Amino acid sequence: MTFSVESADQQSLDDPLLYANRELSWLDFNDRVLAEAYDPRNPLLERVRFLSITASNLDEFYSKRIAWLRQMLATDATHRTVDGLTIAEQLEAILKRCTVSRREMESCWHDVLEPSLAEAGIRVVRFGSLDAEAHEKLRRYFVDSVYPVLTPLVVDPAHPFPFISSASVSLLLSVREPHTGRERTARVKVPPNRPRFIDAGDGRFILLEDLIVAHLDMLFPGVQVLDVHLLRVLRSIELGTTGEAADDLLELVEAELRRRRLADAVGAEVTGMLSYESEQQLLRELQLRPSDLITCSGPLGLADLTQLAGLPLADHLYPPFTPTVPSAFVLATDDDTALFDRIRAQDILVHHPYESFDATVARFISDAANDPSVLAIKQTLYRTSPDSPLLLSLLDASMKGKQVAVLLELTARLDEENNIEWARRLEEAGVHVAYGNPSQKIHSKISLVVREEPTGVQLYAHIGSGNYNSRTARSTPMLGC
């Protein structure tokens, strides 16, 4: 018998065995997030938060990656990625995994977290199980705060099937007209600007859709409600800007965002078994296949569990964490110029979230904005928070006559609208704003401060591996120097 050893340099880098599939690898990652929700070593509300993150991640994955794979499937189903799988094979495997993930998330909620919350005095209950006093309190809340924003829609020859926005929760109803006996489909959108979990007192919460169902008589007076299901549609968030010529990239992305709101559905979730007629109507109107419709036990949209995770119950949360401030920044307290003296003496490494973003990176830009010796600030931006102190400093610097230039990536996925809003504000303040290339994304995180000193013009820079986002910097590890 002969044995042989193949050296590493003899193995072809094209060998699919060397690579994991991108999509399946990401689903493996999300399974690890879900495992944190199951882990009893984590505080209870943090486990609820992990479940909400898992659900939010899966929604984004579905709308982004499955949408992309379906676009690819239409053009070249037999194309193989570096791991050796065809687009068709990947899509089949991923859809199965996503269905399993939904089942596991529902099991985590119903079998693990919901009972654990009940033991801790936090109960999610049905409206019908509450006492008369709670009913009256919730009915007043419904009349005052929910009913005015509801718009029940009935599908008939004069009223086509309504557009269902992505990730919104809807009530899908079958109703019967009293005079004709004719059955119709109706839809009520559960308003996203109302709390999903409504405080019913004594540690009890009911779901907003449950409250709406309990008052359907106000929405459909004199009409018999035959059946009620919850429906949730996920639509593609793929923007079609790549490779497109654009005289104005800002206008192009804005147009794409408008198209995204009307984008193709890539999947739908429904509670309970629809009748054959209702299912066929739904599939037809959404232009989906039967395999794209997933029957769930509910509640739909588990990402909304973040509301419960935010309850102020210290015993069920991680202890609050206060990031440290590096000594170089603590010592540089004399005035807005002291920090530049420290940086000129030596490079400074900061590590977020363990060291404060606000007291280091945000301060760097704030001090530059206030320092009369600073001539210019130049910055790349990818993702920012809506209330970004860093961007407010850039606006302040421009108003004080400094030259401010920003390279803003408009196509940061799911942050496009926020970035467009900041682009408008920056331009109105006199900031020179440039945008990323339509065929590329600008991921670099760089700030450059140009300062006039007795020895001449000096350049100070911040280079980071994360984003200039003060919110995520508090929880997402990021290295900067």
Query: Would you state the pLDDT for residue 336?
Result: 63
Q: Mean pLDDT, to the nearest integer, of 47-69?
A: 91
The residues carrying an active-site annotation are: 443
Query: Would you state the pLDDT for residue 438?
Result: 62
Its pTM surpasses 0.85:
no
pLDDT at 41 over 90: yes
| Beta carbons of 324 and 355 less than 8 angstroms apart | yes
Tell me the residue type at 75: T
For residue 244, what are the contacts with CB-CB under 8 A and spacing of at least 6? 252, 438
Going from the C-alpha of 329 to that of each of 10, 298, 349, 351, 407, the distances in angstroms are 52, 50, 11, 13, 27
- With cut-offs at 50, 70 and 90, classify the pLDDT of residue 239: low
Query: Would you state the pLDDT for residue 298?
Result: 84
Query: Would you state the pLDDT for residue 103?
Result: 94
Torsion-angle region of residue 298: left (phi > 0), alpha (psi -120 to 50) or beta?
left
pLDDT at 110 over 90: yes
Query: Would you state the pLDDT for residue 390?
Result: 83
pLDDT at 243 over 70: no
Q: What is the pLDDT of residues 258-306, one digit of tens each?
A: 554 556 888 899 999 998 888 999 999 888 889 889 999 889 999 999 9
Question: Could you write out the three-class secondary structure of the chain?
Answer: CCCCCCCHHHCCCCCHHHCCCHHHHHHHHHHHHHHHHHCCCCCHHHHHHHHHHHHHHHHHHHHHHHHHHHHHHHHHCCCECCCCCEHHHHHHHHHHHHHHHHHHHHHHHHHHHHHHHHHCCCEECCHHHCCHHHHHHHHHHHHHHHHHHCCCEEEECCECCCCCCCCCEEEEEEEECCCCCCEEEEEEECCCCCCCEEEEECCEEEEHHHHHHHCHHHHCCCCEEEEEEEEEEEECCCCCCCCCCCCCHHHHHHHHHHHHHCCCEEEEEEECCCCHHHHHHHHHHHCCCHHHEEEECCCCCHHHHHHHHCCCCHHHCCCCCCCECCHHHHHCCCCCCHHHHHHHHCCCCEEECCECCCCCHHHHHHHHHHCCCEEEEEEEECCCCCCCHHHHHHHHHHHCCCEEEEEECCCCCCCHHHHHHHHHHHHHCCCEEEECCCCCCCCCEEEEEEEEECCEEEEEEEEECCCCCCCHHHCCCEEEC
Locus of tokens 């549609």: 233
Q: Quote the mean pLDDT of the chain.
A: 85
Query: Would you state the pLDDT for residue 477?
Result: 38
Query: Would you state the pLDDT for residue 266?
Result: 87
Q: What is the pLDDT of residues 380-402, one digit of tens each?
A: 887 777 677 888 898 899 999 99
Domains identified in the chain and CATH numbers: 14-105 (1.20.58.310), 122-236+261-310 (3.30.1840.10), 327-480 (3.30.870.10)
